């Protein structure tokens, strides 16, 4: 039985439609890079991806909470409640019990989980990543950074593969993990100063690599380029590029109707990385972005390809 049919026994069609629209609007407002890529995906996969992003955005907001200034104890409690609601929604997707109340994301989320068989472990790992973000972050080495990137980004890539449809089993899932690492490493470089500065006080670059190049988190937070900054950035950009190369065959293993979306999203993120490589100091003064027109050109090329 499809999830749509199963959901509509307990959730009326209007409620499910409203949940899907909530997720679409949230994605458009909060994740322009994802939104431009997902516009290329046909329904119902597009709606499922909006639900995945909506879920991801909401749990990420619990950990960040820059606007509401909730205490650490409050955010921990909120994340515990979200974890319990996630498990309830996954159980409901399998026909065991009712959907959780209190947030419009749950009907569309459950629909996505059941229709595409996304494993529950994906969401367990995602929440574990958000727990890491509850307090100021210090990453000792790349092994720790890789684990963090897996939890906050690669799990999204793995979940996306289930929605897209893929062949190749575990080998393809590994490619999805590597692509997620590439995306998150790009994000970390893009948001370097914003993350390091108050109130976040998070530096995701490995401490041993900062020390090797003579760069401090305090300098990054203050927008200061210490003598080793450019060499540090070259090193980080090169490593991110290697993860894009390692996952280069991923598109050939997903269903054809999803390839333009993945190609466009990858081109957007690689475009950001290329801009950072060209002007590393730009990350100390603001967020590096691609223009709307650049994203539209990427989307057009992806569709033609």
The predicted pLDDT at position 34 comes to 78
Determine contact, residues 24/47, Cβ cutoff 8 Å: yes
The two structure tokens encoding residue 71: 């205490």
In this structure, how many other beta carbons lie within 10 angstroms of the beta carbon of residue 101?
A: 8
Indicate the fold that domain 1-118 takes in CATH. Answer: Farnesyl Diphosphate Synthase (1.10.600)
Provide the residue-wise pLDDT of the chain in tens; the chain has 305 residues. 334 434 444 678 999 999 999 999 999 998 877 787 888 899 999 999 999 999 999 998 887 755 567 788 898 999 999 999 999 999 999 999 999 998 999 999 999 999 999 999 999 999 998 888 887 667 999 999 999 999 999 999 999 999 999 999 999 999 999 999 999 999 999 999 988 888 778 889 999 999 999 999 999 999 899 999 999 999 999 999 999 999 999 999 999 999 999 999 899 999 999 999 999 999 998 888 877 766 667 666 766 66
Looking at the chain, the domain(s) classified CATH 1.10.600.10 span 1-118, 136-305
**pLDDT of amino acid 296:** 67
Encoded tokens for 189? 């470089």
Cα–Cα distance, 264 to 49 (Å, whole number): 15
pTM over cut 0.75 = yes
Q: What CATH superfamily classification does 136-305 receive?
A: Farnesyl Diphosphate Synthase (1.10.600.10)
Number of Cβ within a 10 Å radius of residue 277: 16
Q: Measured between alpha carbons, how far is 143 from 280 in angstroms, rounded to an integer?
A: 24
């Amino acid at each position: 039985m499809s999830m749509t049919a199963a959901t509509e026994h307990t959730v009326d069609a209007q409620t499910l439609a409203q949940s899907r629209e909530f997720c679409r609007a949230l994605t458009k407002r909060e994740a322009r890079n994802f939104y431009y890529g997902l516009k290329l995906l046909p329904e119902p996969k597009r709606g499922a991806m909006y639900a995945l992003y909506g879920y991801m955005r909401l749990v990420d907001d619990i950990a960040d909470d820059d606007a509401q200034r909730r205490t650490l104890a409050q955010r921990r409690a909120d994340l515990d409640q979200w974890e319990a609601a996630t498990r309830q929604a996954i159980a409901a997707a399998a026909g065991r019990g009712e959907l959780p109340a209190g947030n419009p994301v749950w009907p569309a989320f459950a629909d996505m989980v059941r229709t595409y068989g996304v494993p529950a472990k994906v969401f367990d790992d995602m929440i574990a990543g958000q727990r890491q973000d509850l307090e100021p972050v210090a990453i000792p080495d790349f092994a720790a950074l890789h684990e963090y990137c897996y939890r906050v980004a690669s799990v999204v890539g793995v979940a996306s593969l289930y929605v897209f449809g893929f062949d190749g089993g575990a080998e393809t899932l590994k490619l999805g993990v590597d692509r997620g690492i590439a995306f998150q490493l790009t994000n970390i470089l893009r948001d370097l100063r914003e993350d390091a500065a108050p109130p976040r006080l998070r530096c995701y670059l490995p401490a041993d690599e900062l020390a090797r190049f003579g760069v401090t988190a305090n300098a990054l937070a203050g927008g200061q380029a210490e003598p080793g900054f450019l060499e540090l950035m070259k090193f980080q950009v090169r490593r991110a590029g290697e993860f894009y190369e390692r996952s280069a065959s991923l598109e050939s293993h997903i269903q054809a109707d999803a390839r333009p979306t993945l190609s466009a999203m990858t081109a957007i993120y690689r475009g950001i990385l290329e801009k950072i490589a060209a002007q590393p100091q730009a990350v100390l003064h603001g967020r590096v972005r691609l223009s709307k027109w650049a994203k539209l050109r990427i989307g057009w090329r992806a569709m033609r390809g």
